[in-house]
Amino acid sequence: MLREIQRELHDGGMRGCVLVRDLHTGEELGIEPETQLPAASLVKVPLALATAERIRRGELDGATQLDVQPGRIATPGPAGLSRFRHPARIAIDDLLYLSTCVSDGTAADTLFELTPPAQVADILQEFGLRGFTFRHGMRELSDTPAERFDATQAHLAHALAIDAGTSGRGHRVPQLDTTRASTGSARACVELLQALWTPSKIPSEVAERVRGLMAHNLLRHRLAPDFSSDLTTWSSKTGTLLNLRHEIGVVEHSDGQAFAIAVLTESLVPASTQPGADALMSQAARRLRDHLRQL
């Protein structure tokens, strides 16, 4: 089954790193779950965790209002403050919502100014979570070839992303170079989800806060169609950068079963809009979940 799913992903123009774990039994199925890939906006979940923990410790006050400069980004994709034209005054709690639920890069960078990447890494290590590297904020992700080409030439930016890599996962585009970018693996993501959804070193009120944010994720075009129903809850975070399409999340069933899911992919097709790729990711994850659910 794993070989078949891997072949289907490849036939659909994708390389996929997938891990699905039953959060109660620990049973799991995966495809290259240890492979490190640029994490893109997935880092906003560890950022939310670190920020919520610092609020719990009293180092930050969620009600503190900050002056945030507008992102003024005109290219397709970014949302929230990243597209604002004028300064805004926003509380830390609301920046958490914008960063995690709307995937607002400007809100995330404001939080990174309070808790720099190195401090986020330290807090995750305190909780026994490894497998992530944090090297930069989100502003670096808005300066890729995609922003330098005209909209009609988006395929050129994706062709560069696909063809300019090395066998050791170096890359001419720094945001895709695993030695320079913030990275994570499917296993690291599932370990993080496990720690948020089951008893762990993470304080319960902090884990509950992050779970609530992920439950209100507004970006639901990728895995959500296969994991949303009246009898399930899907809490997630997406990550997108050039030819990278990621999503991590937890599906909770009304019968009490719960599964952590991480799907990190690289597209081999030079196009920015690929709904078929999103559907293929979702189908692959669902097949693995269905198999584990029947055990």
> How confident is the model over 4-43, as pLDDT tens digits?
999 999 999 999 999 999 999 999 999 999 999 999 999 9
Provide mean pLDDT across the span 55-68. Answer: 97
Output the pLDDT for position 20.
Answer: 98
Region 223-251 average pLDDT: 96
Q: What is the mean pLDDT of the chain?
A: 92
Query: Is residue 148 predicted with pLDDT exceeding 70?
Result: no
Strands, DSSP E only, in the chain?
A: 14-22, 28-31, 37-38, 65-68, 88-91, 183-184, 232-241, 244-253, 258-267
In the structure encoding, which two tokens stand for residue 152, read together?
């009609």
For 214, the token pair is 């992920």
Give yes or no for a contact between 220 and 238, defined as CB atoms under 8 angstroms apart: no
pLDDT band with cut points at 50, 70 and 90 for residue 161? confident
Provide mean pLDDT across the span 57-76: 87
Spell out the residues 6+ positions from residue 106 whose beta carbon is closer than 8 angstroms to its own: 68, 69, 70, 71, 78, 80, 81, 82, 84, 138
> Would you state the pLDDT for residue 150?
63
Q: Is 287 left (phi over 0), alpha (psi -120 to 50) or beta?
A: alpha
**Given this model, what pLDDT does residue 216 score?**
97
State CA 151 to chain mean position distance.
Answer: 25
Q: Are the C-beta atoms of residues 286 and 226 closer than 8 Å to each other? A: yes
212 vs 162: CA distance, rounded Å? 35
More confident residue, 72 or 255: 255
* pLDDT in the model for residue 76: 63
Mean pLDDT, residues 230-252: 96
Region 249-271 average pLDDT: 96
Predicted pLDDT at 258 = 98
Q: What is the mean pLDDT of residues 212-232?
A: 95
